[in-house]
Amino acid sequence: MAKQVPLHSSSSSSILSSRRLHLIGIGGTGMRPLAEIAHLKGFHVSGSDQSRSTNVERLIAAGIPVAAEHTAANLPPKPCEIIISSAIKADNPELKAACEQGYSIVHRSDLLKLLMVGKKAICVSGTHGKTSTTAMLAYMLHALELDPTAAIGGELVGLEKSSFVGSGDYFVAECDESDGSFLKYDPFISIVTNIDLDHLDHYGDIEGLKKAFLSFIQKTDKDGCAVVGWDNPIVRELMSSFSGSKLAFGTRMGSEVRGTRFTSHGRTVAYEAVVDKTLVASEAALVGKHNFQNILCCLAVANVLELDLAAAALALSHYPGVGRRFSLMAEYAGVKIYDDYAHNPGKIRSCIEGARSAFPSERILIIFQPHRYSRLETMYNEFMQSFGAADEVFVLPVYAAGETSTRDFSPARVAKDIQDASKVRASKYETDVLKARLSHQQSPTVLITIGAGDVWRLSQEWKEFLHGPETQTKDPSIEPKA
């Protein structure tokens, strides 16, 4: 396994001194918004990536030069800061050359912290739900004409945006706990959507993860507020050690922002919530109870900021969604094809249960691509138990993202263990078998491609199978992720 580069820290002044930034892996979902914001704030921004993804095309169209591979020749003249994420390993040839030539190497989290300077930071953390919640919050504040700045780890459907750059007071950002970098920020509003078992390759055990989240919450500004998901038992446990201002959202007693009714029909949900004794009733074009939690979180933030709650709910009713979050790819002859980025047990379970609640009478088939050996090694049993709401699961080889393992994670082995643990039919992915299932369906079918790697490509292939190649179009919100 390639050695990971440790998190670097760099002062804001050192990055400001050159005003030139070069982002390695600029097309990544966490890097693109930073490139966009820095570019619009007057930095000289360039980057490189290994694929000509839609993210890269968007950046090039915005006037940001992007090289098509990682080589030393891409490095701009000094002075220049080289920006990396934790996904960039030490043996990356471009990073190695930058180190050898004495460039300043800066972690993406330090750049994000710099971009927040002068704003009130609304920092969104949590094991799952970060991207959707960040996107919802940014969209809501934008619709309410607060002119926010925002860095979103996905693209808002139909808007071709993964960022907002505004002159308002607030900066909404998805803050990554996976590598501990969320502890660098100074949130005015700290948000914890939930805390579940994940990232044990970094934290070692659940106690390490809990300690990090408590440290994050305790960094909340004394004049700000911690907004937390009260339905999550670990969150409730940690808040007993927090003495600052907090606002809890959820469906449990004790939630200051409490969801009291939720119904789902197809891709529309209706809900009611009590926010500080005010009843809010609205609808949204979303699927699943996990998105109800995201809505409640946004209403909680609206309450903290003393915004008009009815106007906030109206804004959320127009929220278009974010790419690779239960994205509808095709619908034809009784078959709906969706794609979802879910890559840990909680996300997978939420995705499939959301589909089941939206389409209770339809057959649900899953194409599952496990993401990273390290994630499987630390949460294998939890993964195997996450598919109970499906009818059948087809398993692909692991998307390794440069990792290796000596354990047997073959599709056949994973499928057998899913079948045993989730009590659903599961097998190695085979095109002919799935084609037979779709061709001889006896009931309406929902097919979902699930994973953080390149499984989304199969949603395109099955779309072509249903429609024929002459109608093949790529959803612009779909992006692969290493």
Per-residue pLDDT of the chain (482 residues; tens, 9 = 90+): 344 444 444 444 455 567 899 999 999 889 999 999 999 999 999 999 988 888 999 999 999 999 999 999 999 999 999 999 988 989 999 999 999 999 999 999 999 999 999 999 999 999 888 999 999 999 999 999 999 999 999 888 888 889 999 999 999 999 988 888 999 999 999 999 999 877 667 777 889 999 999 999 999 999 999 999 999 999 999 999 999 999 999 999 999 999 999 988 777 889 999 998 899 999 998 888 888 999 999 999 999 999 999 999 999 999 998 888 888 888 888 899 999 988 889 889 989 998 998 899 899 999 999 999 998 998 899 999 999 999 999 999 999 987 899 999 999 999 999 999 999 999 999 999 998 888 776 679 999 999 988 898 898 888 888 876 544 444 433 443 43
| CB contact burial 427-455 (16+ within 10 A = b; e otherwise) | bbbeeeebeebbeeeeeebbbbbbbbbbb
Angle at 351 between CA 284 and CA 400, to 5 degrees: 135
Looking at residue 3, the DSSP 8-state letter turns out to be P
Q: Which residue has the tokens 């659940």?
A: 206
Whole-angstrom CA distances from 329 to 340, 383, 456 are 10, 25, 10
Q: Top-level CATH class of 327-471?
A: alpha beta
pTM over 0.85: no
CATH of 12-108, one of 3.40.50.1100, 3.40.50.720, 3.30.360.10, 2.130.10.10: 3.40.50.720
Structure tokens belonging to residue 338 = 């969706």
Residue 234 CA to residue 187 CA, distance in Å, equals 21
Query: Domain 118-317 in CATH: superfamily?
Result: Mur-like, catalytic domain (3.40.1190.10)
Structure tokens belonging to residue 321 = 């969604």
Q: Could you state, in order of their start, the residue ranges of all structural domains in the chain? A: 12-108, 118-317, 327-471
Residue 419 CA to residue 433 CA, distance in Å, equals 17
Looking at residue 327, the DSSP 8-state letter turns out to be E
